Structure 1
Amino acid sequence: MGFGFNLLNAYLQSRWVSHYYVAENDWWFGVRFVIGLVIFLSGMIVNVRSDLILVKLKGEDGGYKIPRGGWFESVSCANYFGEIVEWLGWAVMTWSWVGFAFFIYTCANLVPRARANHIWYRDKFKEYPTSRKAVIPFLY
């Protein structure tokens, strides 16, 4: 199912960009694209840095630990937060229904997983920071 979804999503995203997307010649297009690109790249940086923090945790002794540093100080699943931000940026860049649909799908997939991870962390570690949210800083 995952392979099928990714195949369909890749087709729809690339089809939109290659066949239906019209680069408008007005200032709003350029501003919207640049804003989306900045959002996307910001999310990618958060995602990659968070993944590196998690990889370093696994490499130490194989046991579970509380992630520290970066966005992990605000949320339990900083890598998921970064990915959500990435696809929000893509939706803004493409200004399309397919981009927005993928952003919504990403949220529908990662937010419940982040909630489950957040609950697991709180149950496993009594000293887990109570101020951390699951995936959306300061909100959820």
Structure 2
Amino acid sequence: MLSAITALGLFYPPPPSIFLTAMSAITCTSLAFIGVSEVRGKHLSYSKFWNANKPGGGGADPVRISSRAGMLFFYTPALLASAAAFAVPSLMADERGLLVALALLLHFLKRDFEVLFVHQFSGAIVLDSAISISFSYFINTVCILYAQYLAVGAPEPAVNLKYPGAVVFAVGMLGNLYHHILLSKLRKKGDKGYKIPEGGLFGLVICPHYLFEIIIWVGVALMAQTLNAASFMLGSAFYLMGRSWATKRWYVSKFESFPKGIKALLPYIY
């Protein structure tokens, strides 16, 4: 199957690394499973689901940290891994490698910036969820960069998608930031309640920021043209599809006035 995919000229051949090949499969499968779990009501405990999955029968209460600290913990290790890539001369000498490393750096830098200066937080984050999410971002960032490093000097894919990928990435970044800003404006200082989001694509879907997050990773996958980047993009899409479905269900349960025509993630479709 991998040979058939690479024969299309869209990807580099699979790298000579059992670790990277295994991680591609594990990443896509595990993130898809977590997405299905979100639909079934088993949530990663952050954002509006921070208090989900409470233990029953008098079980021990999970360790929680502040939302701001937790989200910084989500993204900062991956940010540092992205920055470390700039110390690898052969990767920086390769235009595609430089683009991918720069995209990852900008993405996680933006996420930390939003945590510090844009997002308005309430609740907390369960430490176990923070560790899982942080590790996922970190290890997959490392794998994407390592796969790109191994691709340096290899024959380029027949179809060069790195420049279209850069455009797609920029669209995703701007759209994601814009809708995060809209979300932040829903709350005044000290307000911890939730409201139905408005503006932008919120009139069509409840999670346009997730949609643009997926677009970001589509852009990275197009720039990289490696199976590792593509597997993380697909896994992230599956997870965010499940999370957006759970988010819409949450809004419907909390607000009787929630508009019936608003979809979860894709306008008019899903």
Count of paired positions = 137
Distance in 1 between residues matched to 2:213 and 2:245, nearest whole Å:
15
For residue 176 of structure 2, what is the amino acid of its counterpart? N
- C-alpha offsets along residues 30-60 of structure 1, whole Å, 9 cap, x if unaligned? xx21211111111111111111111111226
Q: Tell me if the contact between 1:46 and 1:71 (Cα under 8 Å) persists in the aligned partners.
A: no
Give the Å deviation of 1:24.
3.5
Q: Structure 1 residue 18 and structure 2 residue 145: aligned? A: no
Structure 1 portions without partners, runs of 5+ = none
Q: For 1:1-140, list aligned pairs within 5 A.
A: 1-21=132-152, 22=154, 24=156, 28-29=159-160, 32-59=161-188, 61-140=191-270
Instruction: Please give the root-mean-square deviation of Cα atoms over the aligned residues, in Å.
Output: 2.0
Supply the distance in 1 between the matched residues of 2:157 and 2:176 (Cα, whole angstroms): 33
Please give the secondary structure, in 2, of the residue aligned with 1:57.
coil
TM-score by length of 2: 0.47
Letter in 1 for 2:136: F
Equivalent-residue separation in structure 2 for 1:25 and 1:121 (angstroms): 44
Q: Which runs of 5+ in 2 are unaligned?
A: 1-131
Give percent identity, aligned residues only: 31
C-alpha separation between the residues in 1 aligned to 2:195 and 2:175?
A: 20
> Aligned equivalents of 1:23 and 1:128: distance in 2?
52
Amino acid in structure 2 at the alignment position of 1:10: T
Q: Which amino acid aligns with 1:18?
A: Y
Task: Give every structure 1 segment of 4 or more consecutive aligned residues whose post-TM-superposition deviation is greater than 6 Å.
Answer: none
AA at the equivalent of 1:14: L
Q: Structure 1: how far apart are the matches of 2:133 and 2:195? A: 29
For the pair shown, the structure with the greater C-alpha radius of gyration is 2
Q: Pick the structure with more helix per residue.
A: 1
Distance across 2 between alignment mates of 1:34 and 1:58: 38
The offset of 1:73, in angstroms, is 1.4
1:62-105 superposed Cα distances (whole Å, 9 cap, x missing partner):
32111001111111011111101110111112111011111112
Distance 1:66 1:17, change over 3 A: same
TM-score in terms of structure 1 length: 0.87
